[in-house]
Amino acid sequence: MYSHRDQKKFLEALKKYERKFTRQEYDEYKIFIKRDKDEEEFDSISMKRLKELYDKYFEKPDTSKYDKFFKKNPDSESEK
């Protein structure tokens, strides 16, 4: 079960993707925002829909491109 904190996190993350929403998704998002302002905790169906929107639009940053900066040097392990 999701908490009120998760609800806030999803809504904040989706804020910058509003322009990409379809009309129906935008209408749902606005309803979610209104319900959140009323400090209403979402039911399981609403949370499921919010999570679907989050999964569809929110892209986690690709951290694999930074691996080359943080790899251990194999020579340093053999010195120990």
> Is the C-alpha dihedral spanning 13, 15, 16, 22 positive or negative?
positive
CA distances from 71 to 60, 61, 66, 74 (A): 21, 19, 9, 9
Q: Which amino acid is at 52?
A: E
- What is the domain count for the chain? 1
Alpha helices in the chain (DSSP H): 4-14, 23-37, 44-57, 67-70, 74-79
* Mean pLDDT on 32-47: 90
Per-residue pLDDT band at 79 (split at 50, 70, 90): low
Q: What pLDDT shows up at residue 41?
A: 85
Distance CA 75, CA 64 (A): 22
Residue 45's domain spans which residues? Answer: 4-79
Q: What pLDDT shows up at residue 65?
A: 79
For the cut 70, the answer to whether the pLDDT of residue 46 exceeds it is: yes
For the cut 90, the answer to whether the pLDDT of residue 40 exceeds it is: no
